[in-house]
Amino acid sequence: MPAASLLPLFGSAVGPGALGGPAGGGAGGGGRKAAGPGAFRLTEKFVLLLVFSAFITLCFGAIFFLPDSSKLLSGVFFHSAALQPPPPPPGGQPRAPPQPGGGPVAAAAAAGGAGSLERIRADHERALREAKETLQKLPEEIRRDIRQDKEKLLQDARGRKEAGGPGLPQRLFRQPVGAVGQEPSDPAVRQKRDKIKEMMKHAWDNYKRYAWGLNELKPISKQGHSSNLFGNIQGATIVDALDTLYIMEMKEEFKEAKEWVEKNLDFNVNAEISVFEVNIRFVGGLLSAYYLSGEEVFRKKAVELGEKLLPAFNTPTGIPWALLNIKSGIGRNWPWASGGSSILAEFGTLHLEFVHLSHLSGNPVFAEKVMNIRKVLNRLDKPEGLYPNYLNPSSGQWGQHHVSIGGLGDSFYEYLLKAWLMTDKTDEEGKKMYYDAVQAIETHLIRKSSGGLTYIAEWKGGLLEHKMGHLTCFAGGMFALGADGAPNDRTGHHIELGAEIARTCHESYDRTSMKLGPEAFRFDGGVEAIATRQNEKYYILRPEVIETYMYMWRLTHDPKYRQWGWEAVEALEKHCRVDGGYSGIRDVYNNHESHDDVQQSFFLSETLKYLYLLFSEDDLLPFEHWVFNTEAHPLPVLHKDDGNKEDDQK
């Protein structure tokens, strides 16, 4: 805007008192003319200076309010170039290969871009309005406003300090039941548990030695490993390991991890992250660390991170984006996902953490976001009662009809059940959705091989692919955990289903040379529970089979589950342990190890924790008082008789 057009505004606001001229229309201008340009008085000079500084500020403001040109360009010019290479093999979900097309993804990205243009325009208009208002004020008024703003900031800072965090209500911490347990009474079991603790120490010490503060460890090359799932948020292994260190009573290590979190865990970074991975590992890890230890820093960081994730829900349906830039708040979906869709296992695996974020922050917004996901899902027709893995966040319609209880689908089902359990069995909607889904899974996906092994196949538009992923093996534990509430007297049936899945998954381990399970195994072409494709023969230290052993042990006390767990310990020690930590294996059917050189953070948060619990007494993190998020981070059950006052007392 030209400076001249601002002058009349200014002249009428300053008034006669300021300029010493006659009152009346145009007095300010008249006064300036009479004095002549070379003879400005001090007040006039000050006023002119003010006008020009406002003008310069506006020009700079306009530059900053302009949208990020690279984003605009990619939205406008690169519609058909939205295909990007898929992210490298993930810690969590397996990623589907890139698909041709990519138009819907670009459209989705463009939708996000249109939203942000709107925001930018609104910001710009607001800034102009504010600048105009400021120009109409007397210098004394401006000085007073600045003073008041300063005081308010100081007051807010004082208030935050007293409350213990940014806007967090004060909260009396009481440690929930079972944060610590007894020593196992049987010396042989104690010895095994000690061995597992020693494994944790080996994994932790090497991470500390070679990759401290980075996300993961490369145990062969002895350096840090970074995955793009966390953008440039750092310290995934530290946050993922906190609660395992706590329950194993590795106090020194827990203390150093806490200090790192206090000093270094930083979410004010320009990073595009996976909402799902950051939620299950970082938010989940911080929440558990808080509930176990009562250290405020974990509550504060969890809520801070939760707030950073909220813009992911800014889609037409409220189904969140898979990827989010936590600085700009711009989201998008994986370029390979069918029709620009969000992924069931990703947006369906936020519920437990977000309910706890609301509980700990007093801010209902987190719970509202995840309850809305339920609402959207409940409005949709489900093919044969099944949930496809892809849902478009803009149209609210399913993408490709691919159903899986393994990658892309898995933890959505887990969270329905656990939402019900975590609310002390009051979340009836979650309960119904879970048991209805299991019914459909049993009818359409669960099959028995000719050799008598029960498996869960994948469903593609009505056709079955007789393949089961390592990830799917978690379902044995889930069926057993949900057995108690199963409708129509089917408790025994659900426990049996869990036991059968556990047996099948054990077979998938037992039929390899290394006694460690492949990423996926098949029941066709004359094989049962064996991987037939080279790219499905790897093992990346995943926990799901051991997770199922742990649930089956707790719920049946059948000693075979501890025996199978111990077989896994021996195999891990023999094939995955190296000087610099633990590594995944490229081919579990080979007699010689080819290491992948990654110590996944979930090895410390899940695999070792479930093993430790398998050899602990049932009083450590008992199921009546805790549920595990999908990364094995324990969250307390919100007991109804406590109201929303407090958690259980010891």
Q: Annotated catalytic sites, by residue?
A: 519
Of 542 and 575, the one with the shorter C-beta distance to ligand DMJ is 542
How far is residue 249's CA from residue 238's CA, in Å, rounded to a whole number?
15
Binding residues among 527-556 for ligand DMJ as defined by CB under 6 A: 542-543
Site for ligand DMJ, residues 460 to 499, rule: CB under 6 A = 471
Tell me how far apart the alpha carbons of residues 417 and 485 are, in angstroms, rounded to a whole number.
10
> Least distance from C-beta 633 to ligand DMJ, angstroms?
10
Q: In angstroms, what CA-CA distances link 48 with 4, 6, 22, 28, 141? A: 11, 11, 19, 12, 17
Q: Which of residues 73-92 bind ligand DMJ (CB under 6 A)?
A: 91-92
Cβ proximity to ligand DMJ, 512 vs 630, nearer residue? 630
Main-chain dihedrals φ then ψ at residue 454, nearest 5 degrees: -80, 135
CB of 471 to ligand DMJ, least distance (A): 6
Interaction between residue 300 and ligand DMJ (CB under 6 A): no
Q: Is 596 in the site for ligand DMJ (CB under 6 A)?
A: no
Interacting positions 135-164 with ligand DMJ (CB under 6 A): none
User: Of 330 and 471, which CB lies nearer to ligand DMJ in the complex structure?
Assistant: 471
Q: Measured in Å, how far apart are the chain's first and last C-alpha atoms?
A: 66
Nearest of 267, 283, 270 to residue 325 by alpha carbon: 270
Residue 504 near ligand DMJ by CB under 6 A: no
* Contact between 630 and ligand DMJ per CB under 6 A: yes
* DSSP-assigned states of every residue in 127-176: HHHHHHHHHTS-HHHHHHHHHHHHHHHHHHHHHHHHHTSSSPPP----PP
Nearest to 61 by CA among 142, 127, 129: 127
Exposure letters 92-107 (e unless 16+ CB within 10 A, then b): bbbbbeeeeebebbbb
Q: Which of residues 89-108 bind ligand DMJ (CB under 6 A)?
A: 91-92
Residue with smaller CB distance to ligand DMJ, 406 or 430: 406
Biggest alpha carbon distance in the chain?
106
- Report the distance separating Cα 373 and Cα 417, nearest Å: 15
Q: Which is nearer to ligand DMJ, 339 or 407 (CB)?
A: 407
Size of the site for ligand DMJ (CB under 6 A): 10
Query: Is residue 602 a contact point for ligand DMJ (CB under 6 A)?
Result: yes
Rounded to 5 degrees, what are φ and ψ at 165? Answer: 180, 180
Of the two residues 317 and 600, which places its CB atom closer to ligand DMJ in the complex? 600
Query: Closest separation between CB of residue 607 and ligand DMJ, Å?
Result: 8
Cβ closest to ligand DMJ, residue 414 vs residue 597? 414
The least CB distance from residue 277 to ligand DMJ, in Å, is 7
In angstroms, give the least distance from the CB of 95 to ligand DMJ: 12
560-571 and 544-556 are packed helices; what angle lies between their axes, rounded to 10 degrees? 150
**Residue 244 interacts with ligand DMJ (CB under 6 A): yes or no:** no
Nearest to ligand DMJ of 344, 471 (CB atom):
471
Map the footprint of ligand DMJ across residues 396-455, applying CB under 6 A.
411
Bridge partners of residue 627, in order along the sequence: 635
Kindly state the smallest distance separating residue 164's Cβ from ligand DMJ, in Å.
Answer: 30
As given in the structure block, the two tokens for residue 183 are 């020593």
Whole-number minimum distance, CB 119 to ligand DMJ, in Å?
33
Task: Identify which of residues 253 and 519 has a Cβ nearer to ligand DMJ in the complex.
Answer: 519
Rounded to whole angstroms, the Cα distance separating 580 from 419 reads 39
DSSP-derived secondary structure for 22-90 = -SSTTHHHHHHHHH-GGG--HHHHHHHHHHHHHHHHHHHHHHHHS--HHHHHHHHH-GGG---PPPSSP
Question: Where is 548: in which H helix or E strand?
Answer: helix 544-556
Q: How far is the CB of 484 from ligand DMJ (least distance, A)?
A: 23
User: Is residue 631 part of the contact set for ligand DMJ (CB under 6 A)?
Assistant: yes
Distance between CA atoms of residues 421 and 403, nearest Å: 24
In contact, 474 and 547? CB cutoff 8 Å: yes
Q: How far apart are CA 484 and CA 394, in angstroms?
A: 38
Q: Per the structure block, which two tokens stand in for 491?
A: 């408790």
* Minimum separation from the CB atom of position 70 to ligand DMJ (A): 31
Q: Which residues of this protein are in contact with ligand DMJ, per CB under 6 A?
A: 91-92, 411, 471, 542-543, 602, 606, 630-631
